[in-house]
Structure 1
Amino acid sequence: MKSICKAHGYKPPNLHKWGPGVRDVYALHYIVSGKGYLKTGHTTFPVETGESFIIFPHREVYYYPDPQDPWEYFWIEFNNGAETARLLSMINFAPDSPFVKASPQDFKPLFHMVTTGGLEPFERERSDAGLHLLLSYYMEHYPSNKAFRKKDYVLSAREYIESNFWKASLSVLDVVEYVKIERSYLFRLFKEATGTSISGYLTDFRIQRACELLTTSQLSVKSLAYSVGYQDPMYFSKVFKKATSYTPSEYKKAFSAGSTAT
């Protein structure tokens, strides 16, 4: 499998410049000190300490340092693929706007964490993990409009429920705190998107998972109840029958593989 990360490096403060020309990869630059300029299309962007710019594939660029205060920067190149496009879609970079102002976050330690050049699978995974971590901070500080679409809040809530439904202590408040938006706003978005409440979705998902386990495993009702977030098997059986019109035992008998029930 190809690594997303292609190369990385550091440029000390000197008069090195590049272009005009095009690249086949993305190249993210973070300015540690000094100043410089990025020219792309018909626009020249002045860039200075703490700011970042990215070169887009097949986009003509020319970048050069300020002669009086030449920039010092870290850079990283990554390939032009579907995963890269997904990551960058959540960051406020665009071909006509490839520059972001300084943020409170010092990105230098994150660039240090990115490694490239390894041939072993574990080295490639570490390299890509470092890039994902770095870009996650750019997502945090420079989110695109896509990163804040309404349905993303609902998706985050659903994914959290589906990863944690087995915890008996899981509550609606836990979901709200995870998504980090105002409670009533999330309730409205969730209801509009799914047709049910958060607590209703949690119960439905638990029962759905219980049905799967009843037909694919030999778990006892007690073990099954614990597996889907119920500490009391009797209460679980009551909730299950209300949702399916069957007791767990009746459901297993009716729908298990090899059942002759009609």
Structure 2
Amino acid sequence: MKSFSYGFSEGSICKGSGYKPPNLHKWGPGVRDVFALHYIVSGKGYLKTQHTTFFLETGESFIIFPQMEVYYYPDPLDPWEYFWIEFYGGEASRLLSMINFTPNSPVVVASPQDLGPLFHVSKSAELEPFERERSDAKLHLLLSYYMEYYPSDKAFLTKDYTLSAREYIESNFWKPSLSVLDVVDYVKIERSYLFRLFKEENGVSISGYLTTFRIQRACELLRTSHLSVKSIAYSVGYQDPLYFSKVFKKETSYTPSEYKKAYNAGNTSSHFK
């Protein structure tokens, strides 16, 4: 099978999928702004996080959490081939909360069946609305097998706390006054406990998640609208456009204007790096 890679349009939980045949391709060290699930069809390789190096082989899977620094590479004597799929958002987090993946344990053992075919969620990067829905449905189907084979052993109450925090952020990120304490007040549990749960579940702090989510939305508006930088800043919760530009550059390595220009010229992907 030849290598393929699709990046999907706005409005889809599923942000892209692809296949890598056996080769010596490496990735990182770096971070993603999405969840990236990988399934090893054959061969061997390594996933290195900040604290651990994992050895992986045929049938096993690993996931990269948003803003989780990783480096992964094939075994030089038996390089792996793998499928991958990227997804993001509150619904993606909800689905993953039912699977035994965490930032500290991002690897699961070989599955009892070949999951590779389930990674074929689309045959095109240009999706009509009905195709986006089908792609998201196929993503749900794929993750349902992971839920069955690798169910989370964490309490559902814990999942509810962190999911509620994420959903509150994603519904209120546009408010300039939104603070971490607002999130704590909404979830109604002790602050340090929520901080620990949230970091453990998501690999990033509440404030970090809010910033990343705001900049993701700003990138979408820069790609899809003709709004000014000032209007976009206000739309994602920043009253000071200069401060917004400073945060944007820190997160993406571009100023907002540079990002829009580079994207229009085809020099940057839809995902900020």
Equivalent residues of 2:49, 2:69 under 8 A apart: yes
Q: State yes or no: 1:40 paired with 2:59.
A: no
Change (3 A) 1:114 1:91: farther
SS at match of 1:137: helix
Q: Contact conserved, 1:52 with 1:101, CA < 8 A, in 2?
A: yes
**Matches of 1:33 and 1:67, distance apart in 2:** 13
From 64, 72, 76, the equivalent of 2:81 is 72
Residue 126 (structure 1) aligned with residue 143 (structure 2): no
Q: 1:52 aligns with which of 50, 61, 66?
A: 61
What secondary structure does 2:120 align onto?
helix
Secondary structure, aligned partner of 2:66: coil
* Residue pair 1:115, 1:130 contacting (<8 A) in 2 also: no
Q: Alignment partner for residue 142 of structure 1, among 146, 150, 175?
A: 150
Match of residue 103, structure 1, among 84, 87, 111: 111
- Runs of 5+ in structure 2 lacking a partner? 1-9, 158-273
CA contact (8 A) 1:110 1:130 kept: yes
Q: Map of 1:180-195 to 2, 5 A cutoff?
A: none
Q: Does 1:23 align with 2:24?
A: no
Which residue identity is paired with 2:110?
A
Offset of residue 116 of structure 1: 5.9
State the one-letter code of the partner of 1:61: V
* Identity, % of aligned positions: 79
Q: Deviations over 1:57-96 (max 9, x none)?
A: 10100000000000000000112x1101100000000001
Larger RCO (alpha carbons 8 Å, 6+ apart): 2
Give the superposition deviation at 1:105. Answer: 1.6
Residue in 2 aligned with 1:8?
Answer: 17
Displacement of 1:119 in angstroms is: 3.4
Superposed displacement of residue 122, structure 1: 0.3
CA separation of 1:22/1:113 partners in 2, compared to 1, >3 Å: closer, same or farther? closer
The CA deviation at 1:148 is 7.6
**What SS does the aligned partner of 1:145 have?**
coil
The structure number with the bigger radius of gyration is 1
1:187-212, Cα deviation, whole Å (9 max, x unpaired): xxxxxxxxxxxxxxxxxxxxxxxxxx
Cα distance in 1, alignment partners of residues 97 and 122 from structure 2: 21
Counterpart contact for 2:98–2:151, Cα < 8 Å: yes
C-alpha separation in 2, matches of 1:115 and 1:138: 23
Q: Give the conservation status (yes or no) of the 8 Å contact 1:37–1:63.
A: yes
Q: CA deviation at 1:121?
A: 1.2
Structure 1 stretches of at least 4 aligned residues deviating more than 6 Å after TM superposition: none
Q: Helix, strand or coil: the match of 2:144?
A: helix
Q: Deviations over 1:122-181 (max 9, x none)?
A: 0110010010000000000000024888xxxxxxxxxxxxxxxxxxxxxxxxxxxxxxxx
Structure 1 contact 8–116 (Cα < 8 Å) conserved: no
The normalised TM-score by structure 1 is 0.54
Residue by residue over 1:229-259, the C-alpha shift from the partner in whole angstroms, topping out at 9 and shown as x without a partner, is xxxxxxxxxxxxxxxxxxxxxxxxxxxxxxx
Say whether residues 1:63 and 2:72 are aligned partners: yes
- RMSD across aligned C-alpha pairs, in angstroms? 1.9
- What is the deviation of 1:12? 0.6
TM-score, structure 2 as length reference: 0.52
CA distance in 1, matches of 2:98, 2:155: 5
Structure 1 residues 49 and 146, CA gap change in structure 2 (3 angstroms): same
Give the gaps of 5 or more residues in structure 1: 150-262
92, 105, 108: which is aligned to 2:100? 92
